[in-house]
Homo-oligomer: A and B are copies of this chain.
């Protein structure tokens, strides 16, 4: 499966607004994106934006975060389901993330971390949405690792580390315009997976 957040056939106005906002947030962040830009990119008037999101820019931001979080969680679960083991699952995830970065000329693959840093101390609704996103990813990865036979305590640590690594490599790789940080982190994650204790199985990998 392609490493993309876009879903096909989006015609409804509300969906166009969400998709356009997501794209703009990826490039300019939350504070750097104006409603007029969203209106133009979504081909919807400001009036339409307020019709679907009476709470304005903040309410729209919450929906964008929740939607994007779900798409990324499903992307990970899809890659995991198609992989023979955690080692190759994580390898695939980082490999396709790197390809998307390069193909998009190092546009941010995901707006959630950016928004989190911008508003974590000033907008509680958006901060909580980002918290839901991170927690849902951690829970999904943790469950997958446990199901794959990894010691539950190690699985929790590895899941947290995976999410922090994704966030960290996205900033650094994007800023340096190089996938090298992504690849270095992938090697380390995969090694950590390999050496994690597996109570019900002896061989790693």
Contact = CB atoms under 8 A, between A and B. Distances in A.
A127 interface: yes
A118 B28 contact: yes
11 contacts: A27-B122, A28-B118, A114-B117, A114-B118, A117-B174, A118-B118, A131-B177, A161-B188, A166-B168, A168-B171, A188-B188
A113 B117 contact: yes
A175 to B, nearest CB: 4
Interface in A73-107: 106-107
Copies of this protein, total:
2
Q: DSSP class of A's interface residues: helix, strand, loop or mixed?
A: helix
Interface stretch (A10-18, A178-186, A197-205): A178-186
A61 interface: no
Contacts of A113: 117, 171
B172 A163 contact: yes
- List the 10 shortest-distance A-B pairs measured between CB atoms, nearest first: A168-B168, A164-B168, A31-B31, A114-B117, A167-B168, A29-B118, A31-B32, A160-B184, A116-B175, A157-B184
Contact of A188 (B114, B120, B192): B192
Contacts of A168: 163-169, 171
B169 A164 contact: yes
A117 B111 CA distance: 9
A114 to B, nearest CB: 4
Contacts of A135: 176
A32 B119 contact: yes
A134 interface: yes
A51 interface: no
A168 to B, nearest CB: 3
Given A28-B118, A114-B118, A157-B187, A171 B180 contact: no
